[in-house]
Amino acid sequence: MIDFFQMILSGIAVGSSYALMGLGMVLIYKASEVPNFVQGEMALLPVFIAYMLLSSYGLPYYVAFPLTLIFALFLGCFLEFAVLRRAKEPNILGLIIITIGMEMLLLGFVSWKFGADQRAMPFPISTYDSIIIGDIYISTIDMLTLVVALIIMLILFLFFRYSKIGVAMKATQQNETAAALMGIKTHRVRMITWGISSLVGCVAGLLLSAVLTEPYMMWDPMLKGFAGAVVGGMTSLPGAVFGAYIVGVVEHLFGGYVSIEFKSVVAFAIIVLVLCIKPSGLFARHYVKKV
Amino acid sequence: MNSVFKNQTQNNKGKRRRSMKKIFLSVFTVLAVTVFGLAFNATAEEGVTDTEIHIGQWGPQTGPAAPWGAVARGTDAYFKMINAEGGIHGRKLVHHYFDDAYNPAKTVAGVKQLQEDIGMFAWVSGVGTACGLAVKDYLIERKIPWLSPSAGSRHWIEPPNKYIFNIYPLYLGDAQILCQYAVKKLGFKRIAIAFQNDDYGKQGLEGATKQLAKYKMKLVEEVPINVADTDLKPHIMKFRKAEAEAILLFVGPGHVARLIGTGKAMEFEPQWMTSTTCGDVPLMMAITKGLYAGTILASFGMLNPKQVGIGNVEDINNPSHPLLKKYHEKAFKQFAAKEERWGLTFAAGIAYTEPFIEALKRVGKNLTREKLVAEMEKIRNFQGIMGHVSYAPFKPKDPLCRIGQQEIFISQATPDAKLKVLTDWIKTEFIPSSK
C-alpha cells in the first residue's frame, strides 16, 4: 500500500512539470490554433542562458533567474513576431511545420553554442534532499515543482479573469474578428500570449534543469505535456493541468504494476484512448457545428 | 629536271617515312604510358596516394549521444599530431569524420557518400552499436578494413570477419568482472541491474546473469531503462523493494546521474557499479553534484594499474601514463578546439586507433588493405593507453582472433573527481551467444 501511495505522489510530482509544459502549449493553441512543437526549446534556450549567467558570469540566483524569465518572455514574443506572423495565410499543417523548424533551429543553436555535454545547473535548493511523510518520500525539488505549478495556475486564472490584457486574450481566442472590431490589437495580444507561454515553459525548464541540464532535456517533458493537454482538451487550461496529472500518475502506476519497460509510452496509449472516446479531450467543450 | 624531280620525290618519301615513324613512336609512347599507367593505377589502393591516406569515421556531434562525439574529435587531434610529426612513411593522414547524430540511417548515408565520392582506405572507431551494424555489411562486402568499433558489442567478432578488428572490451566482460568483485571482494548477496533497453544494456544483463550463475546467485531485480526516460522514481522503487545491496548500471551517463540522484532523494544508497561507458569521472562528478564519489567502475585504460599501484589515485587531468601525458600535451593542447574538454571520451578517440597506427607503420611505404590486415593480425600484446591488445590470423570460427582487448581493471571514483585503482588488469572471459 505504501508503494501505491508513493507512486501516486511521485506521479503527481512529475505531473506538475508536465502540467506547466501543457499549460504553455494550450495557451498557444488557443491563440494561434497550432500545437506548438517548439515549446520545449522555448524553455531550453533560456535554461542554458541561466546556466551561462550563473556559471560564466557568476550572477546570483535572484538576478540570473529573473533575467532568464524576462529573456524567455521576449523569446516567445520574438518567435511569434518574427516567424509565425510572417507566414502568409498558413494552414494548420504549415504552422506545425514552422514550429518543428523553429524547434530544430533552437536545439541546433543550443548544441552548437553550449556543447553537448551534460551539466549540473547551480540551484538554490538541493535536488537530492527529500521530505518524508510516513514512509513516503517526496524530493524537495518535486515539492518545489508542485508548489510552483499550483502558484502559476492560480496566477494564470487570476490573470485571465481580472486583468485587462487577460480578458483581451480570451476575447481574441474566442473570436478574433469581433475582438479586433472592439479595438483589441489582436496581433499584439497573440504575441504576448506566446511570450507568456514561453515564460511558463521556462519555469518548468528551470525546475527540470536542477536535476540534469542537457540539450535534449525538454523533449520528453514537452511530449508528456502535449499528451496531458490532449487528454484534458487542447482548449482548456484546467483540462491541460488535470490531463498532465493523469498522465503522470498513470505512468507511475503502469510502471510499478504492469511494465516498467513500456512506462514511457503509456501516455500515448492514453491519448489514443481518450481521442476515441471523447475527441475534444476530457475537460474541453465539444462544439458541433450545425448546418 | 627529271633527276631533280626524282630526288624531290625520294626526299618526300623519306620525309613521309620519318613522319610516319614519328607518329608511330608517339602513338606507341602514349599507348605504353596509358597501359603502364593503368596497370599502376590498378595496383594502387583506394584512399591512398603518394602523399595521403584517407580515413573515415562517424560519430554523433549532435543528438542524444553527442557527448560521445569527443571520440571522433580525439581521433582527429591524434591524426593531426601524427601529421605534425611527419606523417606515416611520408604520407599524411586525411581524416574525414561526419556527424550521424547517432542515427543509423545517417550513418549509412554518410559512409556511402564518403566511400563512393572520395574513397576511404579504411574506417576507424565509429560510435554506437546500431550505427555500426547499419554499415557493417557494406564495409565487409567491399573488403574495407574497419578498425576498433567504438562500442563493446559482441556483434563485431561473432562471427569474426577478416576486415573488422575489435578493440573495446566487451560489455559482457564488464558485467562479469563487476559481479565477481561485488560477490567475492565486497561480499554482496543481493545484486540488481539497471540496463539500457538496447544491445549495450542487454549484453551487460547477460554478462551479469551468467557470472552470478557461477556463484549460484540470481539478479534480485532487472530494470530496463529506455533512452528517452527522464523520470526514474519507479525504477528506484523497484530496487528499493528488492533490497538490492549493489546495483550495476549499464546505462548512459545521464541516466546514471538521474538514478543516483533519485536514489539519494529517496534515501536509497546502494553500492553503485557501472561500466566503462561512464568512466569520465570529472564529468560524472560534475553532473551528479558529487554523488558519483564511491561508485565502482570497470575501466579499460587511460592509466596502467600496475604503474599507479593498487589503492593509489590517478587524475586524468594530470596523467602519470607517459603516453597519455604526451597525447595531452601534443594532441589535445595543440590540435583540439579551444572549447574542447580533456577527458576519457576524448582520450578514447586516440586509444582506439593506436593499434591501427602501429600497423600502418609496420606495413611500410607500399600500403594496401591486405597488407594492413596482415600487419594487424601480427599485433600481440600491444599496449598504448589502454590494456593489452592482441589479434591473430583470421579463423572463421574463432572470435578471439579479432577480439583485441580482453582485460579491464576495477576502480572507484573519489570525492575529488579522481580514480582510485582497486585491482590489477583482470582478463575477461568471452561468452559466445550460443552459450
In the prediction, which pLDDT does A51 show?
95
Averaged confidence pLDDT in chain A: 89
- pLDDT at residue B25 tops 70: no
- pLDDT at residue B6 tops 70: no
- pLDDT at residue B9 tops 80: no
Neighboring chain A residues of B227 at a CB cutoff of 8 Å: none
Contact flag B66-A215 (C-beta cutoff 8 Å): yes
In the prediction, which pLDDT does A283 show?
81
d(CA B401, CA B382): 14
In the prediction, which pLDDT does A84 show?
87
In the prediction, which pLDDT does B130 show?
87
- pLDDT at residue B1 tops 60: no
Q: What's the mean pLDDT in A82-97?
A: 86
Neighboring chain B residues of A211 at a CB cutoff of 8 Å: 257-258, 261
Q: What's the mean pLDDT in B271-283?
A: 93
In the prediction, which pLDDT does B199 show?
87
Neighboring chain B residues of A129 at a CB cutoff of 8 Å: 265
Neighboring chain B residues of A6 at a CB cutoff of 8 Å: 237
B103 near A CB under 8 A = no
- pLDDT at residue B33 tops 60: no
- pLDDT at residue B244 tops 90: yes
Neighboring chain B residues of A215 at a CB cutoff of 8 Å: 66
Averaged confidence pLDDT in chain B: 90
Neighboring chain A residues of B339 at a CB cutoff of 8 Å: 115
Q: Give percent of chain A with pLDDT exceeding 70.
A: 97
According to DSSP, the β-strands at B246-250 and B404-405 are unpaired
> pLDDT-based confidence at B248, cuts 50/70/90?
very high
Contact flag B223-A132 (C-beta cutoff 8 Å): no
d(CA B123, CA B161): 14
- pLDDT of B348-378, one tens digit each? 999 999 999 999 999 999 999 999 999 999 9
Angle between helices A140-162 and A237-257 (to 10 degrees): 160
Smallest Cβ distance to B265: which of A128, A221, A251?
Answer: A128
- pLDDT of B320-329, one tens digit each? 999 999 999 9
Domain layout of chain A by residue ranges: 25-218
> pLDDT-based confidence at B40, cuts 50/70/90?
very low
Contact flag B226-A264 (C-beta cutoff 8 Å): yes
d(CA A129, CA A286): 44
- pLDDT at residue B43 tops 60: no
- pLDDT at residue B11 tops 70: no
Go through B283-292 and write b for each residue having 16 or more CB atoms within 10 A of its CB, e for each that does not.
bbbbbbbebb
The 10 Å Cβ neighbour count of residue A69 is 18
Q: What's the mean pLDDT in B399-404?
A: 95
> pLDDT-based confidence at B21, cuts 50/70/90?
low
- 3-state class (DSSP) for residue B236: helix
Q: Mean pLDDT highest for which of A156-165, B65-74, B84-93, B96-105?
A: B84-93
Closest Cα in chain B, distance from residue A254 (Å): 9
Neighboring chain A residues of B100 at a CB cutoff of 8 Å: none
Neighboring chain B residues of A142 at a CB cutoff of 8 Å: 265
**Contact criterion met (CB below 8 Å) for B408 and B387:** yes
**Contact criterion met (CB below 8 Å) for B424 and B306:** yes
Contact flag B64-A216 (C-beta cutoff 8 Å): yes
* CB-defined contacts A:B, below 8 A: 99
Chosen for mutation from A128, A131, A145, A252 (greatest number of chain B CBs closer than 10 Å) is A128
**Contact criterion met (CB below 8 Å) for B167 and B405:** yes
The alpha helices in B44-144, defined as continuous H runs, are 70-84, 104-113, 129-141
In the prediction, which pLDDT does B144 show?
97
Closest Cα in chain A, distance from residue B386 (Å): 24
In the prediction, which pLDDT does A264 show?
80
B63 near A CB under 8 A = yes
Q: What's the mean pLDDT in A19-24?
A: 94
For A240, the grid coordinates are 491541460
Residues 6+ positions from B200 with CB-CB distance below 8 Å: B129, B151, B152, B153, B171, B250, B277
Contact flag A116-B231 (C-beta cutoff 8 Å): no
The 8-class DSSP code of residue B329 comes to I
B293 near A CB under 8 A = no
In the prediction, which pLDDT does A284 show?
72
B261 near A CB under 8 A = yes
Contact flag A10-B234 (C-beta cutoff 8 Å): yes
Residue B403, CA distances (Å) to A114, B110, B122, B246, B341 in order: 37, 26, 18, 29, 30
- pLDDT at residue B38 tops 50: no
Q: For residues B256 and B434, which has the higher predicted lDDT (pLDDT)?
A: B256
Q: What's the mean pLDDT in A35-56?
A: 94
> pLDDT-based confidence at B4, cuts 50/70/90?
very low
> pLDDT-based confidence at B389, cuts 50/70/90?
very high
- pLDDT of A91-139, one tens digit each? 888 889 999 999 999 998 998 888 878 888 999 988 888 888 877 888 8
Low-confidence winner among A13-27, A168-182, B193-207, B209-223 (lowest mean pLDDT): A168-182
> pLDDT-based confidence at B84, cuts 50/70/90?
very high
Contact flag A130-B223 (C-beta cutoff 8 Å): no
Contact flag A14-B63 (C-beta cutoff 8 Å): no
Contact flag B234-A256 (C-beta cutoff 8 Å): yes
Query: How far, in whole angstroms, is CA A188 from its chain's centroid?
Result: 21
